[in-house]
Amino acid sequence: MATALLALGLVLIVEGLVWALAPSLLEDLLAALRSLTVEQRRLAGLAALATGLVLAWVGVSLGAG
Protein backbone atom coordinates (compact mmCIF):
# COMPACT_ATOMS: atom_id res chain seq x y z
CA MET A 1 0.00 0.00 0.00
CA ALA A 2 2.83 2.40 0.85
CA THR A 3 4.45 1.79 -2.54
CA ALA A 4 1.18 2.59 -4.32
CA LEU A 5 0.84 5.83 -2.35
CA LEU A 6 4.44 6.73 -3.17
CA ALA A 7 3.84 6.07 -6.86
CA LEU A 8 0.66 8.15 -6.87
CA GLY A 9 2.41 10.96 -5.06
CA LEU A 10 5.26 10.98 -7.58
CA VAL A 11 2.81 11.09 -10.48
CA LEU A 12 1.00 14.04 -8.91
CA ILE A 13 4.32 15.84 -8.35
CA VAL A 14 5.25 15.47 -12.01
CA GLU A 15 1.77 16.49 -13.16
CA GLY A 16 1.80 19.49 -10.84
CA LEU A 17 5.20 20.59 -12.11
CA VAL A 18 3.94 20.59 -15.69
CA TRP A 19 0.91 22.70 -14.75
CA ALA A 20 3.01 25.08 -12.64
CA LEU A 21 6.07 25.52 -14.86
CA ALA A 22 4.72 25.24 -18.40
CA PRO A 23 0.98 25.94 -18.58
CA SER A 24 1.15 27.31 -22.13
CA LEU A 25 3.07 24.24 -23.30
CA LEU A 26 0.37 22.11 -21.72
CA GLU A 27 -2.28 24.01 -23.67
CA ASP A 28 -0.36 23.29 -26.90
CA LEU A 29 -0.14 19.61 -25.95
CA LEU A 30 -3.88 19.45 -25.31
CA ALA A 31 -4.57 21.09 -28.68
CA ALA A 32 -2.32 18.53 -30.37
CA LEU A 33 -4.16 15.70 -28.60
CA ARG A 34 -7.50 17.08 -29.79
CA SER A 35 -6.27 16.83 -33.38
CA LEU A 36 -5.65 13.08 -33.03
CA THR A 37 -8.30 10.50 -33.76
CA VAL A 38 -9.74 8.44 -30.93
CA GLU A 39 -7.82 5.41 -32.20
CA GLN A 40 -4.52 7.33 -32.21
CA ARG A 41 -5.16 8.51 -28.65
CA ARG A 42 -6.00 4.95 -27.61
CA LEU A 43 -2.75 3.66 -29.13
CA ALA A 44 -0.78 6.42 -27.39
CA GLY A 45 -2.42 5.45 -24.10
CA LEU A 46 -1.58 1.79 -24.63
CA ALA A 47 2.02 2.71 -25.47
CA ALA A 48 2.24 4.77 -22.26
CA LEU A 49 0.74 1.88 -20.30
CA ALA A 50 3.22 -0.60 -21.76
CA THR A 51 6.14 1.75 -21.09
CA GLY A 52 5.00 2.26 -17.51
CA LEU A 53 4.70 -1.48 -16.95
CA VAL A 54 8.20 -2.07 -18.31
CA LEU A 55 9.65 0.70 -16.14
CA ALA A 56 7.86 -0.64 -13.06
CA TRP A 57 9.10 -4.16 -13.79
CA VAL A 58 12.67 -2.92 -14.21
CA GLY A 59 12.41 -0.93 -10.99
CA VAL A 60 11.17 -3.95 -9.04
CA SER A 61 13.85 -6.12 -10.65
CA LEU A 62 16.50 -3.67 -9.46
CA GLY A 63 15.21 -3.85 -5.91
CA ALA A 64 12.74 -0.99 -5.54
CA GLY A 65 9.54 -1.68 -3.61
The answer as to whether 1 is a domain residue is no
Confidence of residue 59 (pLDDT cuts 50, 70, 90): confident
What residue numbers bound the domain in which 40 lies?
23-65
Share of the chain above pLDDT 90, in %: 74
The answer as to whether 14 is a domain residue is no
The string of pLDDT tens digits covering residues 3-49 is 889 889 999 999 999 999 999 998 999 999 999 999 999 999 999 99
The answer as to whether 13 is a domain residue is no
Coil, helix or strand at residue 4: helix
Coil, helix or strand at residue 32: helix
The domain total for the chain is 1
40-to-7, 34, 46, 52, 65 alpha-carbon distances in Å: 27, 10, 10, 18, 33
The answer as to whether 7 is a domain residue is no
The answer as to whether 6 is a domain residue is no
Q: What pLDDT is attached to residue 65? A: 62
Q: What pLDDT is attached to residue 46? A: 97
Sign of CA dihedral 40, 46, 48, 54: negative
Q: Is the pLDDT of residue 61 over 80?
A: yes
Cα 46 off chain centre by? 11
The answer as to whether 29 is a domain residue is yes
The answer as to whether 2 is a domain residue is no
Rounded to the nearest 5°, which phi and psi values hold at 57? -65, -45
The answer as to whether 43 is a domain residue is yes
